[in-house]
Structure 1
Amino acid sequence: MKSLVGPLIKLIIFAVVTVFATAVLGFAVANGGAGGGTDFKAVFTDATQVAPGDDVRIAGVRVGQVSGVKIVDRDKAEVAFSVDRGELPAGVRIAIKLRNLTGQRYLSLEKGPGDTADTIGGGTTIGLSQTTEAINLTELFNGFRPLFQQLTADDVNKLSAEIIKVFQGESGTISELVRDTASLTNTIADRDQVIGQLIDNLNVVLKNLNEHDDQFTQLLTNTEKFVTGLANQKESVGSAITSLSNLTAVTASILQPTRPAIQGSIAALNDLGQTVVERQDEIKQTLTTLPIKLQKIGRAATFGSWFQFYLCGLDVTAGNGQSNLLTQPLIPLPDINHVLYTSAATRCWANEDPP
């Protein structure tokens, strides 16, 4: 039987190396330090999101870490931290700066006024006159919100990082930020006229709303009452909708058999319309003279249930009125083509002119 000593030793060595590597990795991820160092405290008016384990840096190089944060004097924050050196300049300035866009912070130690030979030792508390809180991301980015709304996600991330660096004094200048911003806002500038027109139109709408404020308020009030009434009568409304659905179904079943006849009537109506259009002059003339003719016909029936006519003249004409075959030479009677009677009454005058 083979000895298990060799594999067991290898397994133990592997386990030790794995645990050690895991510990080192966890230590690095947790921003852990080797411990020790010199402890200091600093008082800030605002230490939002500063947490134990955050870096302490000098010129961007990590020299320590934050060990704790607590409230002092009811409205101030005291941050305890340690550094890997025994002393700090007496005029040192400590600023809370943004580590990334997710809001993580770190303490930045910077050279302050005064002689660097003057130092402070461990346990010293640095006052408000030498500390600076982090910039307010909410207020900062709210000012750039109209710009961010017009940019892509990558452009927003790039511009945000540059803004933070500039305002923290880490790199770049205001002129570079403005130049980058100008390059990112070309699209907005191209749409300036459209945006201006939109704002003008919006101003007109708001002005009209302001001028009719009472009516608009009344409209909203009435709408609220209407909606409330519908809500209170929801059962009745639901029943009415159901009945309307049934009515629609019944109407469809009634119209279905008559659909061919209706289609034929519509087609005939189209032909009638075309005929009316083609003979509109004649129809117009008929409608114009019809009242006059009806008035004259009405006069004939004004005395009773019969028509009464006044005879203005009587002519007898055969053929074209020129035939000599219809004359009566032997009997002293008028020719067929002869006017038998003509009245001289005023009502018989044409155009009210005497004959």
Structure 2
Amino acid sequence: MSLLRRHPLSVGLVGLLIAALVGLLVANADALPVIGGGTTYTARFTEAAGLDPGNEVRVAGVKVGKVTGVSLDGDRVRVTFNVKDTWIGDSSTVSIAIKTLLGEKYLAVDPLGAGKQDPSTPIPTSRTVSPYDVTQALNGLGSTFDQLDTKRLAQAFNAVSGAFANTPPQVRTAAHGLAALSLTLSKRDASLARLLDGTRQITQTLAGQNGNFQTLLTDGNQLLGEVRMRRDAIHALLVGATNLGTQLAGLIQDNTKQLAPTLAALDRVTGVLNKNQKSLDKTLSLAGPYYRLLTNALGTGHWFDAYLCGLVPKDYLPTGTQPATGCMPPNTTSGGSR
């Protein structure tokens, strides 16, 4: 009796345990010493600046690993990243850089230092740099402007302008300018709010289409690379087409004297045919019945059927085969001559 029949529950549990172990190994394949490899380091930043797990790690522009984790560590951000076959010195600097115009980030490492960086020691914030996020700044500007009371701001500037009424002309001009600016902002409050809101929506849309833009740029690079590779072939094709055009032009020019009389004669022939089109149509309409009768006369063997009217006297013709009037073929159904 097989083991499955003796202990089906035990076999099922062992199978589930093996499946769970395989799934765990697959999920952590990058951390395995043979399959994944690499060394994991930790760096502390003042802010994450949009960095996400899975973003690239680059040294001198070359991808050497990826970000494995971004988490909050007190008032700082803890970033872990894994690199393979890359020197990380004890004076290395790490910065969050912008990869694309749409705001995707990557981790840039500058491998400095005479000694090797200890993987268990985090890289301090003194050696890390976070970028300035323009998208977040625009979103923050929109939110701040929505909370701004432009009417009170205009009243405040008007009060400042009145307070500086007896000051020197330069000060009064500056105060009046501020008051005019506040009035303009007050009048354009709704328009500016819509503008900033539209800007925020555009940045969000572009951020959502980041992958499509990357694919488009990658395909464009591949197309340009293929065109560059085919440049010599395309150049040879264009040169060949130019030479062919030159040869054809020379051929036509060389044979103009011979072709001109032929074309003129052909033009005269077509003119004659056009003038006699009605006669040609009548001839073709009469030729049809003629050739039909000729085919009937020649279609019975190695001879042709014919009827000669008046050659034999009527007295010699069999009774019943003589035509009543005119010269008609005899009735061959009751016998006749060929």
Structure 1 length-normalised TM: 0.29
Higher relative helix content: 2
Structure ID, larger Rg: 1
